Structure 1
């Protein structure tokens, strides 16, 4: 059986290439696409992610604003910072890096983001629109998974997709996106019993559980397509890659799979917003 490595770097490169002309066109009309990222505290992983996103913006000519707030920032202070960015007509996208410190009401902060600028798909309204099939900006990792599926022309309609994970910005929205493409979707989670038995039925597996090397090769159906959205310490995904590679027909590596496409989708959504909201 031929194995297809679903190379996210190739997909990400194509997305960025297509954005270049659109960004130039906006600039000719006096509009510079702008993404604002908010980081609360000094979590090293979060700082790395924010820096990567800022660098990706700058390389494409998207303006990047970084708002770094101290660890002791209150919910009210964070909401005020978000409101300031909502009102700034030069800002087209707002990303609140999560997790935020535990004393902050993260959901309230997400909900404060203007839906026109919710380029990371974190508001409940954005999620609802995604589920109903008309969302402007799905959460970036689910959007990246669908982009990889489309790029490699993986059939979805009529297939049984099993999503392992139910987070509001990954498992739930990717389940909705797959359902909208006419897959039959089973969403599994930490309370699911007989997970290996369910995975044995899956034509498409999305690993989004946040546990390193959790999904094992023998759990998979022969020829399954496996998309690993996990990113754990040491650049390890949520699947046992070598074991799953033996069984899968197509698989994403970690790193170099879903991750690069996720950042590209964030850039794309920011450009989309700049085009839609020409202040």
Structure 2
């Protein structure tokens, strides 16, 4: 019988530990671990995501500072704001909500955040640390994927893993994390030739392609573990919509375990962001 990997339950366990760590930090240093969040423009999805992150901070005792800026806020002004936050000893993590409005380049903005406060794990220094197995801040969604995999797999050594998706945010970093566990990892994408046959060879499949229903049941070999990172809104045919993953969940009954969408990786991403914030705070006050 296929096990459903419950991301909500895993996130709750992680958040309980974060709350205890945040309280201990406050007691030791007289201030909470603090996250600064920058949101530019009025993108509805970004507004929702930022709201959830701020609410999660309050829940576990992490301080939060919001900078909600107009869509015409310029790149140079944004870089100056990041410089001020980098220099503020009471700010331990900085998050710039993506996507940014047209006219603001993401790479210069993300690169401006000091690596020690880069709680998203996107700075080139943290990417480099991840690539060599050093101790940097890890990207939140890949870290969440690994925690979910740890809930069902005890020994990764020698397992075959296929990642569908090559993004810098999920695909590449989760591949590096599984390599550290001594998996044999193949990174693919939607243009990979013979993709179904490659996926069928895998003991672990992580799908982060942003393509609803891409991976069908006959792509998955019996007993494989499937992590679906995709979050896609599709029409339900009745002037409404619903959220689905990159896998056809109903066809995964022969898998050993599968993460659902919603309720799988999504809750872990915010929990790992808060974990990174506490971790960053502790490093900065040593």
TM-score higher than 0.5: yes
Distance, in Å, in 2 between the alignment partners of 1:19 and 1:147 is 15
Match in the other structure for 1:238: 246
| Pairing 1:56–2:47 present | no
- Matched residue SS, 2:261: coil
Per-residue CA deviation, residues 54-82 of structure 1 (Å, 9 max, x unaligned), is 00000111111111121122221211111
- Residues 229-260 of structure 1 show CA distances to partners (whole Å, capped at 9, x for unaligned) of 111112211111111x2231100011111111
Deviation at 1:216, TM superposition (A): 0.8
Kept after mapping to 2: 8 A contact 1:214/1:238: yes
Q: Secondary structure at the match of 1:38?
A: strand
| Unpaired segments ≥5 residues, structure 1 | none
In 1, Cα distance between equivalents of 2:184 and 2:192: 17
TM-score, normalised with respect to structure 2: 0.94
Tell me which residue corresponds to 2:35.
35
Partner of 1:157: 157
- Determine the structure 1 residue equivalent to 2:5: 6
C-alpha displacement of 1:154? 4.6
Q: TM-score with structure 1 length normalisation?
A: 0.96
Number of residue-to-residue matches in the alignment: 277
Would the aligned equivalents of 2:152 and 2:257 in 1 still touch at CA under 8 Å?
no
Query: What are the within-5 Å matches in structure 2 for residues 1-279 of structure 1?
Result: 2-29=1-28, 30-233=30-233, 234-243=242-251, 245-278=252-285
Any idea what SS the aligned residue of 2:244 has? coil
Distance in 1 of aligned mates of 2:207 and 2:95: 24
How many Å apart are 1:135 and its aligned residue? 3.5
Displacement after TM superposition at 1:26 (Å):
1.1
Aligned residue for 1:246, secondary structure, equals coil
Structure 2 contact 36–67 (Cα < 8 Å) conserved: yes
**Alpha-carbon distance between aligned partners in 1 of 2:34 and 2:140, rounded to the nearest angstrom:** 17
Q: Indicate conservation of the 8 Å contact 1:206/1:228, yes or no.
A: yes
Alignment correspondent of 2:236: none
Q: Note if contact 1:127-1:135 (Cα within 8 Å) is conserved in structure 2.
A: no
RMSD: 1.2
* Counterparts of 1:16 and 1:76, CA distance in 2: 36
TM-aligned CA deviation for residue 104 of structure 1:
1.1
